């Protein structure tokens, strides 16, 4: 069991890593950091040449990253839902008035302030226009026959819940760890054919989740 002394000893490291993240409460980041510290402690080999603090860094950072990443996904999903509600309302009011309604009219209909409407529109457009750049993620590699809209891509994280444990492991290894099918097969003690079949089935499930 990890001791309070070990947490205290690595407290500065946890706070230092926490300062790399924005938009998340520092207390939440600290708790995630402690979880990472615990995982590092459980896996650390005292006979190794690596210092514990160096070994723990990736565990601590990883837990904080997942916290910040999941929070961002939730926020983006909520913003996009509001953005689409605003656009649906704008369309309905346009049909009613025979003209494009103002933001103030949309705000009155939705019982929101005009500023909140404007902020939601700007944020929604920003999210939908994001360019993934050179980073390759699961979202960029999904093999759906149809192109998945960017706002639906946010739901892919939830789509992981549709998979069984073996499928989740393969998807994480292929798209989050960037391993080849051969490397995944060795890691999970499977044949490459099995990995290929699992991967295709998993992606099909996730695509079906998005389009149902």
Q: What is the pLDDT of residues 138-182, one digit of tens each?
A: 444 444 434 444 444 445 566 677 788 888 888 888 776 778 888
Give the pLDDT confidence score for residue 142 in this predicted structure: 46
Task: For 1-54, write each residue's pLDDT tens digit.
Answer: 567 888 888 999 999 998 888 777 888 889 989 988 988 888 888 777 888 888
Burial environment of residue 152 by CB neighbours within 10 A (0 to 12, 13 to 18, 19 or more): middle
Terminal CA-to-CA distance of the chain, rounded, Å?
A: 45
Q: How confident is the model at residue 108 (pLDDT cuts 50, 70, 90)?
A: very high
pLDDT at residue 68 tops 50: yes
Per-residue pLDDT for 121 more than 50? yes
Domain range list for the chain = 4-70, 134-212
Looking at domain 4-70, its CATH class is mainly alpha
Residues in the chain: 212
> In the CATH hierarchy, which fold is given to the domain comprising 134-212?
Arc Repressor Mutant, subunit A (1.10.10)
Q: Is 55's pLDDT higher than 80?
A: yes
Tokens 């565990």 — which residue?
59
Contacts of 32-40 spanning 24+ positions with Cβ under 8 A: 32/60, 32/63, 32/64, 32/66, 32/67, 33/60, 33/63, 33/64, 34/7, 35/63, 36/60, 36/61, 36/62, 36/63, 36/64, 37/2, 37/6, 37/7, 37/10, 38/2, 39/63
pTM of the model: 0.41
Q: Considering the chain, what percentage of its residues have pLDDT values greater than 90?
A: 5
**What is the reported pLDDT for 147?**
43
Integer CA distances (angstroms), 120 to 38, 129, 203, in order: 39, 14, 31
């Amino acid at each position: 069991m990890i001791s309070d002394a070990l947490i205290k000893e690595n407290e500065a490291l946890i706070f230092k890593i926490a300062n790399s993240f924005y938009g998340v409460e520092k207390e939440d980041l600290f708790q995630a950091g402690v979880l990472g510290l615990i995982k590092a402690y459980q896996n650390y080999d005292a006979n190794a040449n690596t210092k514990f603090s160096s070994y723990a860094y990736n565990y601590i950072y990883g837990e904080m990253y997942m916290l910040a990443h999941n929070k961002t996904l939730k926020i983006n999903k909520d913003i996009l839902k509001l953005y689409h509600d605003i656009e649906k309302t704008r369309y309905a009011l346009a049909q009613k008035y025979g003209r494009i309604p103002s933001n103030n009219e949309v705000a009155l209909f939705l019982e929101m302030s005009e500023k909140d409407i404007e902020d939601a529109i700007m944020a929604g457009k920003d999210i939908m226009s994001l360019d993934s750049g050179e980073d390759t993620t699961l979202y960029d590699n999904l093999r759906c026959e149809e192109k998945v809209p960017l706002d639906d891509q946010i739901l892919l994280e939830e789509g992981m819940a549709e998979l069984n444990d073996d499928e989740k492991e393969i998807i994480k290894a292929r798209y989050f760890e960037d391993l080849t099918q051969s490397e995944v097969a060795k890691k999970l003690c499977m044949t490459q054919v099995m990995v290929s079949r699992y991967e295709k089935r998993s992606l099909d499930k996730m695509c079906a989740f998005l389009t149902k």
